[in-house]
DNA sequence: ACACATTTGTGCAAAAAAGCACAAATCGTC
DNA sequence: GACGATTTGTGCTTTTTTGCACAAATGTGT
């Protein structure tokens, strides 16, 4: 992970938020959403930290990078803090997502409800398999499903242009992943979520996050093996 | 991530491998497998680093923690290094895996080929949905598929005992994840891969790795938003 | 208005991770 | 068998991340 710290302008000053902090913000956001759903108004750093599994000191320091949104002696207002995090993370925007590779995993991702709920909207499915192209796949979880046509891989650039997709998900086999990535980048995509078990080379300015299921199991196996000794 | 360094005995001495190193070993292993498949005999740290997307210095330091398996002026023997990593990570063992939650994601994981190839074997599927229990689900990728019966969640403990499952995968909705986790732990599972978007509380000695799809997208969105400024 | 109980925000220290630079070891060649 | 070209292994430095401890700020009760 190339942990560059990101800088931005907030009320005039330049604030730097470390990569480690950013990676924890989604968990805070989710916990706050959960608290808001149960109508809780205030929360202490101690409580929020317990829910998200971090130390309260770390939580406070993380939040302090966003601004001073808590009240000493009291805690944080759930809704207010939630809004601040969502704004900082761009979750109030709309994020059109294109999924390349409509195999088992791609389909599971398309169905996945967690995306739609937070500004992420699967707007296009692309695959190279002739038997899949032209078929329709249900996207989104219960309540708000949309049938999406599977487009041909050769139409990738056009599909991205038409749908204005900003985020690309690579759910193809390892062999085709780099090629797909190159075309996504050429089509203007600068943020890629990669499920293929391979390192993607991308030019500067393009972010890639990797989710590697087999690696995770291997890491677990490593620890499991150590326990047995 | 509570990055405790793991210590083990290797040829008499105590070796410590940092969590950061461990998390990169699967990538090295995969690259070496790929090189071995293409019949390459030797590889330099520079080349292997390029494939896996790390710096060559970091790669060498990572590998040096396993032992001195390279030859100065020459590089590393692909097969030999691959074997050493697989041994260190316990990939020559057999790792029976139980998947709890046979929704879209659980099914995709069951189908996923990357597991079977490296000692991981899905031996049991468990769900609470009455309409799923008793049905059969294809496990494994092309070549070596097995039909597995979906067991009732109430039989979780028995299933684990019978199949000797060592690794647990939680692919349930967030609401049921903690309960499932508790029961996995009680049944003797000490390594859990969690796909539910929630922090799992587990006793000491139990490892949890979390894969959070929505979080990954949110982190991408954060960076994407910053780019626009 | 003042003492007191909370809880945040943060300066400082410790630990972990990454990066640099080069000595040590090896191979091929003359 | 010595020399030069490589390439590993590693000590040292820098950066990043985490953890600790407490002052500063707020609300409460008298």
The distance of A98 to chain B (nearest Cα, Å) reads 12
Cα–Cα–Cα angle for A126, A129, A135, rounded to 5 degrees: 65
Stretch among B11-15, B150-154, B221-225 having the lowest mean pLDDT = B11-15
Residue B140: is its pLDDT beyond 90?
no
Fold of A6-89: Arc Repressor Mutant, subunit A (1.10.10)
What is the tens place of the pLDDT at every residue in A14-61?
A: 568 999 999 999 999 999 999 999 999 999 999 999 999 999 999 999
User: Is any Cβ of chain B less than 8 angstroms from the Cβ of A65?
Assistant: no
Q: Give the bridge partners for A71, in sequence order.
A: A75
Residue B9: is its pLDDT beyond 60?
no
Give the other-Cβ count within 10 Å of A110's Cβ.
24
pLDDT recorded at residue B115: 73
Stretch among A4-13, A83-92, B66-75, B211-220 having the lowest mean pLDDT = A4-13
Give the other-Cβ count within 10 Å of A45's Cβ.
20
Q: Which of residues 121-150 of B touch A (CB under 8 A)?
A: none
Which of the nucleotides lies closest to B74 (Cα–C1')? D7
Which of the nucleotides lies closest to B68 (Cα–C1')? D9
Contact predicate B63/B6, CB 8 Å = no
Estimate in Å the CA B46 to C1' C29 gap, whole number: 25
**Phi, psi dihedrals of residue B12, rounded to the nearest 5°:** 90, -40
The reply to whether B6-87 and B95-215 are identical in fold is: no
Task: Please state which CATH class domain B6-87 belongs to.
Answer: mainly alpha
User: Helix H segments across chain B?
Assistant: 19-37, 45-52, 56-66, 78-89, 104-111, 113-116, 156-163, 174-186, 213-228
Task: Round to whole Å and give the CA distance between A23 and B223.
Answer: 11
Strand D nucleotides where any atom sits below 7 Å of a protein CB:
5-11, 16-21, 24-27
Residues 12-71 of B with CB within 7 A of strand C: 18-21, 54-55, 57-58, 60-61, 71
Please spell the DSSP secondary structure of A46-57, one letter per residue.
Answer: HHHHHHHTS-HH
Q: How far is CA B69 from CA B4, B18, B65, B84, in A?
A: 25, 18, 10, 8
Which of the nucleotides lies closest to B69 (Cα–C1')? D8
- Enumerate the domain spans of chain A: 6-89, 95-215
Q: Which amino acid residue lies closest to nucleotide C5, measuring CA to C1'?
A: A73
What is the tens place of the pLDDT at every residue in B156-177?
A: 999 999 999 999 999 999 999 9
User: Is any Cβ of chain A less than 8 angstroms from the Cβ of B24?
Assistant: no
| Interface contact B221-A119, CB threshold 8 A | yes
Sign of CA dihedral A109, B198, A52, A219: negative
What is the tens place of the pLDDT at every residue in B173-196?
A: 999 999 999 999 999 999 999 999
Residue B1: is its pLDDT beyond 60?
no
What percent of chain B clears pLDDT 90, i.e. is strictly above it?
83
Q: Which of residues 178-207 of A touch B (CB under 8 A)?
A: 190-193, 197-201, 205, 207
Query: A95-215: which CATH architecture?
Result: 3-Layer(aba) Sandwich (3.40)
Give the pLDDT band (50/70/90) at residue A6: low
Task: Decide: CB of A72 under 7 A of nucleic strand C.
Answer: yes
């Amino acid at each position: 992970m190339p942990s560059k710290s990101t800088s931005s302008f907030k009320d005039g000053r330049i604030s730097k938020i470390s990569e480690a902090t950013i990676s924890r913000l989604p968990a805070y956001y989710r916990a706050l959403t959960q608290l808001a759903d149960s109508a809780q108004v205030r929360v202490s750093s101690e409580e929020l930290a317990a829910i998200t599994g971090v130390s309260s000191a770390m939580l406070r320091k993380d939040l302090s990078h966003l601004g001073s949104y808590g009240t000493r002696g009291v805690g944080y207002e759930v809704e207010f803090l939630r809004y601040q995090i969502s704004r900082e993370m761009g979750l109030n925007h709309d994020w059109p997502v294109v999924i390349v590779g409509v195999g088992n995993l791609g389909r599971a991702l398309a169905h996945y409800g967690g995306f739609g709920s937070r500004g992420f909207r699967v707007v296009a499915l692309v695959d190279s398999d002739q038997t899949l192209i032209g078929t329709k796949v249900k996207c989104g979880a219960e309540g708000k499903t949309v049938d999406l046509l599977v487009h041909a891989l050769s139409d990738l650039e056009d599909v991205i242009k038409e749908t204005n997709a900003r985020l690309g998900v690579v759910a193809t086999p390892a062999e085709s992943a780099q090629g797909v990535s190159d075309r996504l980048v050429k089509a203007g995509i600068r943020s890629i979520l990669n499920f293929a078990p391979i390192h993607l080379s991308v030019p500067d300015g393009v972010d890639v996050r990797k989710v590697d299921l087999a690696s995770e199991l291997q890491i677990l196996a490593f620890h499991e093996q150590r326990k047995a000794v």
